[in-house]
């Protein structure tokens, strides 16, 4: 087995040009080895897939897909977390059909985002389970985009008739594997085009950075339709030819103990999630539950998808040290869909780096290390390092206005180049050119991916400081303020159009959503504040699955704007913190 693993880990980037090549080889060489185990109840009820079973089911699904569409088309994937999603994803790859993972809508949930994804991706077929299909069919009449799709329930497809299974479609490393949809700044989702070459290269970056071996054991709970869940928890174990144990995000959120219990039970070596997941474990796991945990097998606890907080690292370490958890196991990392997933991470054996800088200087995009121990904590910002570039990737810091490379000690936009950088945005040539084809102005070096994030580097270590485009990241999910602001202004007739701001603030170590919104002049005297606030909160929860921390209703024509009429979100944030906005009504949770 060790010889087989070495063949796959060292040579298969040359021999396997696609994920289809990889799974086919694994199914041939280790057919009866378990690839994935899903804990249906989040605890003990197991269902598993071997490599051979995954290969056969993928071929059966591919056969059905190609009976209703052709290679090169797009297929929507609507699945809860589980093995059905994995088989359907590979069914698409085997058929040469571009997978479009999306979150299945809950009953009575607004479907505008899903409809936008269907329209933008031009999907012709949708894959799901028979249970979800029943819910979807009851809503077809009210959603014109859903009616256009050919629907397949893949958990009803039999695999017994192996003689009729489809041959693998002719594909290459340049073939598009899937579209990862992110929220667009205009409210329309954008599909990041990810090729097989992107995926295999990014998986090799992760393998090298994480120092994974044939002895690595994965446990994961992240959503499989999200890049960290799909590329990190599903495809990395497959790339290694090792087992992965999965639980659903709902099971974790309902009872965070289940995550650590699975790590303990299966002696997992790699597992992780966004910063909030570690905070949730600290708050929710009881001393009695801790007494049953053995986390000594945990070698790498990755933390990404949202800002990594130094206090979270300390709190989790202190809370679970008695269970065998060690601080050096933490692995802060940085990534994004436009770079397939993984951009940077540190050395596995090193403890996380924390850089303490002066807050006032940081606000001016300057890095001044704190040298005076007497300085007040309010004047200090502790920034956790997110590691360095791997393989042939390059990370540079660039002034977002002059487009020249920043000197050391200055904050700028993070730019990335490498084989892991995706191909662009689906059917969006202008935005692709702006984001994926940036060049340094004075040297013409490029192309680079503009991440839209701000940061700085010290001795090759990347530190992320903020978000150039004001993206709001809460519980590991990106939310564009324009989308939320549109939801707010439509929630009540008293609210003035194009006169609101959504932003996040660090409240007691947690990223919270704040809304400031102007009121129409005709409503200033007669407005029912409770009604307006209630409408805003309900609309944001319904459309974005977010809870609002605070809402400020402002006097007409008082919100900070530029001379061209654009909302100044950072000025709004500063005004909220300083209490200088012209408030006519407010609410705080």
Cα–Cα separations (whole angstroms), residue 330 to 302, 304, 389, 396, 472: 6, 11, 18, 24, 24
Rg (C-alpha) for the chain, rounded Å, is: 24
Q: What is the pLDDT of residue 474?
A: 86
Tally of residues, the chain: 589
Q: What is the pLDDT of residue 113?
A: 79
**Dihedral sign (CA 206, 233, 455, 426):** positive
Q: What is the pLDDT of residue 182?
A: 84
CATH topology of domain 343-467: Luciferase; domain 3 (2.30.38)
Q: What is the pLDDT of residue 333?
A: 97
Two tokens at 203?
Answer: 């998986």
Residues 6+ apart with CB under 8 A from 65: 75, 91, 92, 95, 97, 125, 127, 152
Domain 480-588 has CATH 3.30.300.30: yes
What is the full DSSP assignment across 449-494? EEEEEEEEEETTEEEEEEETT--EEETTEEE-HHHHHHHHHTS-TT
Residue ranges in 125-186 assigned as alpha helix (H)? 130-137, 144-147
Q: What is the pLDDT of residue 14?
A: 55
Cα–Cα separations (whole angstroms), residue 300 to 191, 346, 350, 437, 442: 30, 11, 11, 34, 40
CB 490 within 8 A of CB 526: no
pTM of the model: 0.83
Q: What is the pLDDT of residue 105?
A: 79
Q: What is the pLDDT of residue 565?
A: 63
Q: What is the pLDDT of residue 563?
A: 46
Q: What tens digit of pLDDT does each residue of 30-59 get? A: 999 999 999 998 898 899 999 999 999 999
Q: What is the pLDDT of residue 510?
A: 86
Q: For the range 393-396, what are the long-range contacts, defined as Cβ-Cβ under 8 Å and sequence gap of 24 or more?
A: 393/205, 393/343, 393/417, 393/418, 393/419, 393/420, 394/418, 394/448, 395/343, 395/344, 395/457, 395/462, 396/440, 396/448
Q: What tens digit of pLDDT does each residue of 503-542 get? A: 999 888 888 999 999 999 999 988 999 999 999 999 999 8
Token look-up 């804990």 returns 39
Q: What is the pLDDT of residue 467?
A: 75
Q: What is the pLDDT of residue 10?
A: 54
Q: What is the pLDDT along the chain (589 residues), one digit of tens a residue?
A: 444 444 444 565 458 999 999 999 999 999 999 999 999 988 988 999 999 999 999 999 999 999 999 999 999 999 999 999 999 999 999 999 999 999 887 776 667 778 889 999 999 999 999 999 988 877 776 777 778 899 999 999 988 755 566 667 789 999 999 999 986 434 478 999 999 999 999 999 999 999 999 999 999 999 999 899 999 999 999 999 999 999 999 999 999 999 999 999 999 999 999 988 999 999 899 999 999 999 999 999 999 988 888 989 999 999 999 999 999 999 999 999 999 999 999 999 999 999 999 877 776 778 888 876 666 665 788 899 999 999 999 999 999 989 999 988 889 999 999 999 999 999 999 999 999 999 999 999 999 999 999 899 999 999 998 777 777 888 877 677 877 888 899 899 999 887 899 999 988 888 899 999 999 999 998 899 999 999 999 999 988 889 999 999 999 989 987 645 668 888 899 899 999 999 999 999 9
Sequence ranges of the domains in the chain:
343-467, 480-588
Q: What is the pLDDT of residue 184?
A: 46
Q: Give dist(CA 385, CA 11) in Å, integer.
A: 32
CA atoms within 13 A on the CB side of 456: 21
């Amino acid at each position: 087995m060790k010889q087989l693993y070495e063949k796959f880990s060292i040579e298969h980037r040359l021999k396997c040009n696609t994920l289809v090549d990889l799974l086919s080889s694994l199914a041939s060489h280790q057919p009866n080895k378990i690839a994935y185990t899903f804990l249906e109840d989040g605890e003990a009820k197991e269902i598993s897939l071997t490599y051979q079973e995954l290969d056969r089911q993928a071929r059966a699904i591919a056969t059905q897909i190609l009976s209703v569409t052709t290679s090169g088309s797009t297929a929507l994937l609507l699945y809860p977390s589980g093995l059905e999603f994995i088989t359907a994803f590979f069914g698409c790859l085997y058929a040469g059909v571009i997978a479009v993972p999306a979150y299945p809508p809950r009953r009575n949930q607004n479907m505008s985002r899903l409809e936008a994804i269907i329209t933008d991706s031009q999907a012709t077929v949708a894959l799901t389970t028979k249970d979800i299909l029943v819910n979807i069919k009851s809503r077809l009449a009210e959603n014109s985009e859903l009616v256009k799709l050919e629907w397949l329930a893949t958990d009803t497809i039999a695999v017994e008739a192996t003689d009729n299974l489809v041959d693998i479609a002719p594909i290459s490393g340049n073939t598009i594997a899937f579209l990862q949809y992110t929220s667009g700044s205009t409210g329309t989702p954008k599909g990041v085009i990810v090729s097989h070459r992107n995926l295999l290269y990014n998986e090799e970056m992760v393998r090298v950075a994480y120092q994974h071996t044939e002895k690595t054991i994965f446990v994961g709970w992240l959503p499989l339709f999200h890049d960290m869940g799909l590329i990190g928890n599903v495809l990395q174990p497959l790339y290694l030819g090792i087992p992965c144990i999965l639980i659903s995000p709902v099971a974790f959120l309902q009872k965070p103990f289940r995550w650590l219990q699975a790590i303990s039970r299966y002696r997992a070596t790699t597992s992780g999630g966004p910063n909030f997941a570690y905070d949730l474990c600290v708050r929710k796991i009881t001393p009695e539950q801790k007494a049953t945990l053995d986390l000594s097998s945990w070698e790498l606890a990755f933390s990404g998808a949202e800002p990594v907080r130094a206090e979270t690292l300390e709190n989790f370490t202190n809370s679970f040290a008695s269970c065998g958890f060690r601080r050096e196991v933490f692995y802060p990392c940085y990534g994004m869909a436009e770079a397939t997933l993984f951009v940077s991470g540190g050395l596995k054996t090193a403890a996380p780096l924390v850089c303490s800088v002066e807050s006032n200087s940081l606000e001016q995009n300057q890095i001044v290390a704190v040298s005076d121990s007497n300085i007040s904590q309010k004047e200090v910002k502790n920034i956790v390092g997110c590691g360095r570039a791997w393989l042939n990737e390059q990370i540079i810091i660039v002034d977002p206005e002059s487009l020249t490379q920043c000197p050391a000690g200055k904050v700028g936009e993070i730019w990335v180049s490498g084989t892991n950088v995706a191909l662009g945005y689906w059917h969006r040539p202008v935005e692709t050119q702006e984001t994926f084809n940036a060049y340094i102005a004075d040297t013409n070096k490029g192309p680079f991916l503009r991440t839209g994030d701000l940061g700085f580097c010290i001795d090759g270590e990347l530190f992320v400081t903020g978000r150039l485009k004001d993206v709001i990241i809460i519980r590991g999910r990106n939310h564009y303020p324009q989308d939320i602001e549109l939801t707010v202004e439509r929630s009540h007739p008293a609210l003035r159009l194009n006169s609101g701001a959504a932003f996040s603030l660090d409240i007691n170590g947690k990223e919270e959503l704040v809304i400031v919104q102007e009121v129409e002049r005709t409503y200033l005297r007669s407005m029912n504040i409770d009604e307006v606030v209630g409408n805003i909160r309900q609309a944001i929860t319904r459309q974005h699955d977010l809870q609002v921390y605070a809402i400020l209703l402002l006097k007409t024509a008082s919100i900070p704007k530029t001379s061209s009429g654009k909302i100044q979100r950072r000025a709004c944030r500063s005004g909220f913190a300083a209490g200088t906005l012209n408030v006519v009504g407010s609410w705080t949770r």
